[in-house]
Amino acid sequence: MLNFLDDSLLVGGTVFGALLFMAVLNRMWPWERRRNHNDLIGWQLSILGTTYAVIMGFMLYTVWTDFGAASVNVDLEADALVNMYGLSDGLAEPQRTQIKELTRSYAHTAINQDWPQMQTGGTPGETSEINAKMWQMLMTVKAASPIEINAVDHSLYELSALTEHRRIRVLQNASRLPGVLWCVLLVGGTVTILSSCMFGSESSRLHGLQVFAFSLLISLCLVAIADINRPFQGTVHVSDYAFVRAERYMQEH
């Protein structure tokens, strides 16, 4: 799991490495000798840069789409929990009180245990136990009136949705970009940055500024992909606000 300091060190290290490579290259292969190959180097960099930009853009779009899907799924899970809490008013005692207590406990556990566990890469299990108790509770309800029958039916529907969204959340927490795709991103970024250092430019300052900007942009994109790729970890992650809001609602009603 990367934090802000790790991200900063990775970006800074990449930029420093690119500038160091350019300085070493200028000593071993002076720009006067490389200038005659600028046309070939420029053509190569154009092809590499375009290809790598397409790959990086696709990866960034994919992880951002997955991040958005994880955020929406958490909202749906919290909404199903609130709906169960409201539908419990149609149940007879003691099931009414028990379901209300379980829904409050689910929200509290999701905030204080599930999210900290997912932040460290763990698999949350406490809400699964509460979810199982909800199923046991509703499956043993013997509805006597039409209102109770309707409440049980809709509660089972919302509980099924809650279970599904929780299962999806656990799977999203464990999903990662395959290693082969990270290999493509890292190797492609390295080759592209090194190719930009090979230009033979009379102005070393201008060339250094171009390499600096190029390596900074690529490293920032890679760090963004790494952070967003883990929707419940890192500097950028899906918030537990949906459950905070649900818990607040259940406390007020």
196-235 per-residue burial string, b: 16 or more CB within 10 A, e: under 16: bbbbbbeeeeebbebbeebbeebbebbbbbbbbbbbbbbb
Report the predicted TM-score, pTM, of the whole model to 2 decimal places. 0.85
> Distances in Å between the alpha carbon of 226 and those of 122, 162, 170, 178?
18, 29, 19, 12
Mean of all residue pLDDT scores within the chain:
89
229: CB partners within 8 A, 6+ apart: 63, 66, 176, 177
Cβ atoms of 202 and 32 within 8 Å: the answer is no
Cβ burial of 4 (10 Å; 0-12, 13-18, 19+) is exposed
DSSP string computed for 60-121? HHHHHHHHHHHHHHHHHHHHHHHHHHHHGGGSPTTHHHHHHHHHHHHHHHIIIIIHHHHHTT
Q: For the chain, how many structural domains are there in total?
A: 1
Give 58-100 pLDDT, tens digit per residue.
999 999 999 999 999 999 999 999 999 999 888 888 888 999 9
pLDDT bin (cut points 50, 70, 90) of residue 45 is confident
Read off the DSSP letter of residue 32: H
Residue 186 one-letter amino acid? L
SS3 211: helix
Percent of the chain exceeding pLDDT 90 equals: 54
Enclosing domain of residue 175: 4-252
List the one residue out of 132, 163, 145, 151 whose CA is nearest residue 88: 151
Give 128-154 pLDDT, tens digit per residue.
999 999 999 888 888 778 888 888 899
How many CB atoms are located within 10 Å of the residue 95 CB? 20
